[in-house]
Amino acid sequence: MLPLLFADSFQRFWYLFPLLVAISFVYAATREELMRPILHKAGAVALWILGFMAIIFAILFGVSWLI
C-alpha cells in the first residue's frame, strides 16, 4: 500500500492534505472559541475525515481489484 501512494498516478492524493488542514481548522473554529479547544477539535476532525476517506478508498480499491 505504501509504495502505491508514491506512484505517479497517486501523486495527486497529496493535494488532499492542504485542504484537509484548512477544512479541519475552519470547521473546528466554528465550533469552539478558544485556540486550545480549536486545535484539539481540528485534530479530531482531521482524523475523522482521514478515517472516513480511508474506508471509502479501501472499499473502492477492493471493488476495482475484484472487477
Partner 1 sequence: MSHSDPDIFMTHGDRDEMKLDEIEIDLKNPLVAAVLGWLCPGAGHLYQRRYAKGILFMVCILATFFYGLSLGGGHVVYASFGAEKHGTAAKSWKRFLSRWHYGCQVCVGVPAFPALVERFRMDEGKDPLLGGWMTPPYGPESPENPGGHDQLSDWHSELHFFFEIGTLYTVVAGLLNVLAIYDAFGGPFIPTSAEPETPPPEDEES
CB 41 within 8 A of CB 55: no
CB closer to partner 1 out of 30 and 51: 30
CB closer to partner 1 out of 10 and 62: 10
Site for partner 1 in 11-50 (CB under 8 A): 12, 15, 18-19, 21-23, 25-27, 29-35, 38
**CA gap 29, 18 in Å, rounded:** 17
Burial of residue 29 (CB within 10 Å: 0-12, 13-18, 19+) is: middle
Binding site for partner 1 (CB under 8 A): 12, 15, 18-19, 21-23, 25-27, 29-35, 38
